Structure 1
Amino acid sequence: MKIISTAVFCLMAGVLSAQSTQFIYEYKFKPDSLNREKVTLENMVLETKTEGSRFLSQKKIVEDSILDASLKQMNGGGGKPIDLTEIRQPAVRAEVSKKYPSYETVYKISPGSIPLAITLSKKPEWKVSKEKSEVLGHKVQKATTKFAGREWIAWFAPEIPIQDGPHQFYGLPGLIVKIEDSKKDHTFILVGTKKVTSSEPEKKHRITGREIVLDEEKFKKYWQDYRKDPVKDMRQAILSTSGAVVTSMTFNGKSYSQEEMMRESEKARKESLKNENNYLNLELYKP
Structure 2
Amino acid sequence: MKILSTSLFFLIAGMFSAQSTQFIYEYKFKPDSLNRDQVITENMVLESKTDGSRFVSQKKITEDSLLNASIKQMMAGGGNHIDMSKTPQPKVRNEVVKKYPSYETTFKTSPGSVPIAVAISQKPDWKVSTEKSEVLGYKVQKATSRYAGREWTAWFAPEIPIQDGPHEFYGLPGLIVKIEDTKNDHSFVLIGTKKVSSDQAEQKPRMSSREIALDEEKFRKYWQDYKKDPVKDMRQEILSSSGGVVTSMTFNGKTYSKGEMIRDSEKSRKEMLKTENNYLNLNLYKP
Tell whether the structures are fold-level matches, with TM greater than 0.5. yes
- Shift of residue 245 of structure 1? 11
Q: Which residue of 1 aligns with 2:96?
A: 96
Corresponding letter in the other structure for 2:130? K
Q: Are 2:33 and 1:33 equivalent residues in the alignment?
A: yes
- Aligned residue for 1:10, secondary structure, equals helix
- Contact 2:128/2:143 (CA < 8 Å) preserved in 1? yes
Q: Which residue of 2 aligns with 1:193?
A: 193
Ranges in structure 2 where 5+ consecutive residues have no aligned partner: none
Number of residue pairs the alignment of both structures matches: 283
Distance 1:33 1:49, change over 3 A: same
Distance in 2 between the 1:213 and 1:166 partners? 22
Ranges in structure 1 where 5+ consecutive residues have no aligned partner: none
Where has structure 1 moved over 3 Å in runs of 4 or more? 4-8, 68-77, 81-86, 238-263
Distance in 2 between the 1:227 and 1:5 partners? 51
Q: Which residue of 1 aligns with 2:141?
A: 141
- Shift of residue 247 of structure 1? 9.4
Q: Which residue of 2 aligns with 1:132?
A: 132
- Contact 1:7/1:193 (CA < 8 Å) preserved in 2? no
Q: Which residue of 2 aligns with 1:264?
A: 264
- Contact 2:85/2:253 (CA < 8 Å) preserved in 1? no
Distance in 2 between the 1:268 and 1:51 partners? 38
Distance 1:87 1:260, change over 3 A: closer
Distance 1:214 1:255, change over 3 A: same
- Shift of residue 256 of structure 1? 6.8
Distance in 1 between the 2:26 and 2:83 partners? 28
- Shift of residue 237 of structure 1? 2.7
Distance 1:244 1:257, change over 3 A: closer
Q: For each residue in 1:138-186, what CA deviation from the matched residue of structure 2 results, as whole angstroms up to 9, or x when unmatched? A: 1000000000000000000000000000000000000000000000000
Distance 1:12 1:209, change over 3 A: farther
Q: Which residue of 1 aligns with 2:214?
A: 214
Corresponding letter in the other structure for 2:237? A
- Aligned residue for 1:236, secondary structure, equals helix
Distance in 2 between the 1:253 and 1:198 partners? 37
- Contact 1:27/1:189 (CA < 8 Å) preserved in 2? yes
CA RMSD of aligned residues (A): 3.0
- Contact 2:83/2:249 (CA < 8 Å) preserved in 1? no
1:57-136 correspondence runs (5 A):
57-74=57-74, 84-136=84-136
